[in-house]
Amino acid sequence: MAAAVSAAGGLGMVGVGSTGSVELLEREVAEAGTGGRRFGIGLPDWAISRHPELVDAALQSSPMLLAVSFGDDWKWTERVRRAGIVTVTQVATVDEAERAAGAGVDVLVARGAEGRGHGTPAVGTLPLLDGVLDRVSVPVLAAGGITTARGLAAVLAAGASGAWIGTAFAACTESLVPAEVRRALIGASVDPVPPCSPTPTRRMPDRESAP
Ligand X SMILES: Cc1cc2nc3c(=O)[nH]c(=O)nc-3n(C[C@H](O)[C@H](O)[C@H](O)COP(=O)(O)O)c2cc1C
Closest listed residue to residue 142, CA positions, set 99, 94, 107, 109: 109
- DSSP three-state, residue 87: strand
Compare residues 75 and 116 and give the one whose CB is closer to ligand X.
116
Asked if 89 is part of the footprint of ligand X (rule: CB under 6 A), the reply reads no
| Residue closest to ligand X when measured from CB atoms | 166
The CB-of-121 to ligand X minimum distance in angstroms stands at 8
15 binds ligand X, rule: CB under 6 A = yes
Considering only the stretches 30-38, 71-79, 132-140, 144-152, report the one whose residues sit in contact with ligand X under the rule CB under 6 A: 144-152
Contact at 8 Å (CB) between 66 and 59? yes
Q: Radius of gyration (Cα) for the chain, nearest Å?
A: 20
Residue 145 interacting with ligand X (CB under 6 A):
yes
Note whether 171 binds ligand X by CB under 6 A.
Answer: no
Diameter over CA atoms, the chain: 76
Closest-CA residue to 183 (of 175, 195, 191, 194): 175
What is the contact surface with ligand X in residues (CB under 6 A)?
15-17, 42, 44, 67, 69, 90, 111, 114-115, 117, 143-146, 164-168, 170
